[in-house]
Structure 1
Amino acid sequence: MPVATSFPALMMKSTAKIIVGLAVTGFLTACSGHKPAIPTASAMAVKPQAQTARRIYNIPPLGQRTVEDVLQTYGAYAMSKLKPYFDKAKVSYPPREVTFIALKKEMKLELWARDSGEFRFIRDYRIHAASGVPGPKLRQGDMQVPEGVYRVAGLNPNSNFHLSMKLNYPNEFDLFHAWQEGRTDPGSDIFIHGNAQSIGCLAMGDETIEELFVLAAHVGAENAKVVIAPHDPRTFPLKADIEGLPEWTSELYSRISREIKALSPVPKPVAAAGL
């Protein structure tokens, strides 16, 4: 029998849980309005060797690192790798907003960004691991990578998976449907992180997460959106035709499809010859 808890009360409880978790891991500091200084072009753009980075940059041990420590270590190098892609797309760095599109079937993460104009494709990355099957995440421990439209809730410089970016799963959509169905523990702690192992997160490898972490820090985590889809809806439509999916999956897939397709510019009609 579902627990008779109001949806607003469930949201307040979940939000409080997330805030406490962020405070413990230092996410609230990372999510503040302060944006770390961006390295100049003259900064050393050489990848620090893992064995000497702590000695050279005096990096604190795991558990005591800050976002600024990560930027000091990896910022210039990550920026040197990112900037040519932004230059090619004619988008300034750092951009005003970024959107990451994660495609589970294709195991690919696309980076889109914009400054004052429309979003433009910057580049894509290989997803090293993403556990689960097509379909949304429903409960703690189901090993599912969520599907939906999310925000980066904070940056974790002390991740056990090198570096990580926390997503705001469960969002309002997830909480509402969990409340409707009486699911009291839809899960939490979903990250985009380094390494190549996944238990419901997107594992990008250490080199890639350094770029993504630095980019999110420069643009501001609050300006980074993450759309996660079972497959690319630009290739073939998203359909909730797998047995066992919730009834609301069709609505979810419509939202995901709109978000992804809105990024791609509509082709301009070609004028007929002689007109």
Structure 2
Amino acid sequence: MKRRLFTTGAIATMALAGCATRGRFLRYDGPEVTSVVVNKGARSLYLLNHNDVLRHYKVDLGFAPVGHKQIEGDGRTPEGSYLIDRRNPNSDFHLSLGISYPNSTDRARARAMGKSPGGDIFIHGQPVGYRPNGRDWTAGCIAVQDTEIEEIYAMVRDGTLITLRA
């Protein structure tokens, strides 16, 4: 009787494990990501280990993608070198990695115009209920698919250099 109960329980546990979905927090034990490069013109993001491309992703950018972000609300994605400086596992956009925009130069440029440089620039996934209706829909962030941000989130560490090019 005990053996049958144990066997039934073990089978039920294995069946439930087989139905489990993949979590959004992946593990990565490959080569270190030493830098991230975003080519805005090509709408591409690259994860690099020194000079070797580890991964490549197609991206969406700010709704006004041409030019460097100047001020809050301009819809542009920054250009230049920054750091990945934070992560948000509770993002409204699945998962997100923060970019250290604005730097002192960005703040000074915006202040000279009497404006705020804005902030909260992230690499992120899609919002809940997202329905694509064209490219370049963010307020200045870099957007990828949810499965892609899961991979990026696992691979990229805080402090990683990110370079955003025109």
TM-score by length of 1: 0.46
- Aligned pair count? 139
C-alpha RMSD of matched pairs (Å): 2.3
Distance in 2 between the 1:120 and 1:163 partners? 25
Distance in 1 between the 2:92 and 2:56 partners? 24
Deviation at 1:111, TM superposition (A): 1.3
Q: Per-residue CA shift, 1:149-207, capped at 9, x if unaligned?
A: 1101100001000000111110122123233x243411111111001651211111101
Residue segments in structure 2 that go unaligned for 5+ positions in a row: 1-17, 127-131
Q: Per-residue CA shift, 1:130-159, capped at 9, x if unaligned?
A: 421311111111111111111011000010
State yes or no: 1:108 paired with 2:108.
Answer: no
**1:202-221 paired onto structure 2 within 5 Å:** 202-216=142-156, 220-221=157-158
- The equivalent residue for 2:34 is 98
Paired residue type of 2:56: D
Which structure: greater strand fraction?
2
Runs of 4+ in 1 over 3 A off after TM superposition: none
Deviation at 1:129, TM superposition (A): 4.4
Task: Determine if contact 1:139/1:183 at 8 Å carries over to the other structure.
Answer: no
State yes or no: 1:74 paired with 2:25.
Answer: yes
Greater relative contact order: 1 or 2 (C-alpha under 8 angstroms, separation 6 or more)?
A: 2
**1:104-183 paired onto structure 2 within 5 Å:** 104-114=40-50, 119-179=51-111, 181-183=112-114
Equivalent of residue 198 in structure 1, options 138, 142, 146: 138
Distance in 1 between the 2:65 and 2:90 partners? 29
Task: Determine if contact 2:70/2:109 at 8 Å carries over to the other structure.
Answer: no
Which structure: greater helix fraction?
1
Distance in 1 between the 2:77 and 2:107 partners? 16
Query: Percent sequence identity over matched residues?
Result: 30
Change (3 A) 1:185 1:205: same
TM-score by length of 2: 0.74
Distance in 1 between the 2:153 and 2:88 partners? 9
Task: Determine if contact 1:175/1:186 at 8 Å carries over to the other structure.
Answer: yes
1:174 partner SS: helix
Task: Determine if contact 2:31/2:49 at 8 Å carries over to the other structure.
Answer: no
Distance in 2 between the 1:176 and 1:129 partners? 24
- The equivalent residue for 1:49 is 21
Paired residue type of 1:99: S
